[in-house]
Amino acid sequence: MAWRSSASTNAGLIENLWRNKLITDPRVKEAFLKVDRAHYAPTSPYDDSPKPIGHRATISAPHMHALAVENLLPFILPTTSRSAPRVLDIGSGSGYLTHVLAELVGSEGGLVVGLEHIPELRDLGARNMAKSEEGRRFLETGRARFRLGDGRRGWTEPGEGEGDDGWDAIHVGASAVEVHPELLAQLRSPGRMFIPVDDEDGHDEGQHIWCVDKDEAGKVTRRKLFGVRYVPLTDAPVG
């Protein structure tokens, strides 16, 4: 029912995602309501459809962002054992999902890093987030940060304290040819990754979302969720 979620306002869009059960957790709904998609999508921001943002990249449809957050939620929210969640958003693009994730990780040391391989997109995400007062506060306090790097290799945020390495949750916003071992190595135990991966046989949709879990003992399990169509996770385009 994704195509029925479009609206004329941000509140209407999120309410439609809720009614269509694409958002099911009240905490996710509240986070999305706080982030105006008009600050991130260049045209028709409240349509439930992807939009080009330049540099051969897109901002995903709102229902895809909602599904990503709902699947990652247990590893994004602060808990007694994980008081300061660390989240890596690979292929952060417009910065929209990075902002939503920052709403959920909590204020006491929670961190979301948006990683881009194109400097102009890294800068676009930061500019878009700075359009709102809360977004500016996230940037100023360091709760949200935008970095430049190869998402296939993950990211190590410098300057953190001892033991503050790895990620509780990793979101990948472009299709990978595999679940890259560098990303698995950087996933904490326990941790979860939400990643679109090219199908080996090339059938069906050509790509599927995989939910990759690492438990407390470091055992990795993978679940194939649904077919998608994402831009590829590759080198930055030339020219």
- Is the sign of the CA dihedral 180, 186, 190, 192 positive or negative? negative
CA distance 51 to 89: 18
How far, in Å, CA of 75 to CA of 77, rounded? Answer: 6
What is the C-alpha to C-alpha distance for residues 49 and 60, in angstroms, rounded to an integer? 7
Q: Which residue out of 60, 92, 94, 175 is catalytically annotated?
A: 60
In contact, 197 and 179? CB cutoff 8 Å: yes
Any catalytic annotation for residue 60?
A: yes
Are the beta carbons of 138 and 110 closer than 8 angstroms? Answer: no
Q: Compute the distance between CA of residue 31 and CA of residue 222 in angstroms, rounded to an integer.
A: 27
Q: What positions carry a catalytic annotation?
A: 60
